[in-house]
Structure 1
Amino acid sequence: MGLARDRRRTLRNPGFVSFMLDNNRRRLGGNAHERALLWRRWLRGSALALLVIGIAWVAIESAKALSVF
């Protein structure tokens, strides 16, 4: 039936084990660069969002100040 004889292990199907070994490998070298790019993109988006919120806050406060005079 394709089962290994060692009953102590949780993964007993050698076909499944070989599939997991072939498809769950970490890519070497590319992950750090991709992570840095993702972090920079997230940081750039956050900075842009903060800038937009800051400009909107200044505009609202200026409108309130001008409405007093």
Structure 2
Amino acid sequence: MSGQYPFVVHYRLHGQPRSVEVESNSEAFTPSQARDHIESLHTAVASSDITDIRVTAGQHGGPSQPGRQQAT
């Protein structure tokens, strides 16, 4: 099956909880891929400031929540 697979990446930045929605061409999105993506969003912070990365499956067309960013 091909297409876009939605994921939600949860993490902490400077100890504050954050999340970002990501779409992948693959059925899997690893924490390592998530870290690379998060670091590309927060280029001004040290990698060590990004902690507790967790990836969960998202929903196609799911509701956006305030404070979330859509990323592709």
Query: Is TM (by shorter chain) over 0.5?
Result: no
> Which structure has the highest strand share of the two?
2
- TM-score (structure 1 length as normaliser): 0.23
What is the TM-score normalised by the length of structure 2?
0.22
Higher CA-based Rg: 1
Judging by fraction of residues, say which structure has more helix. 1
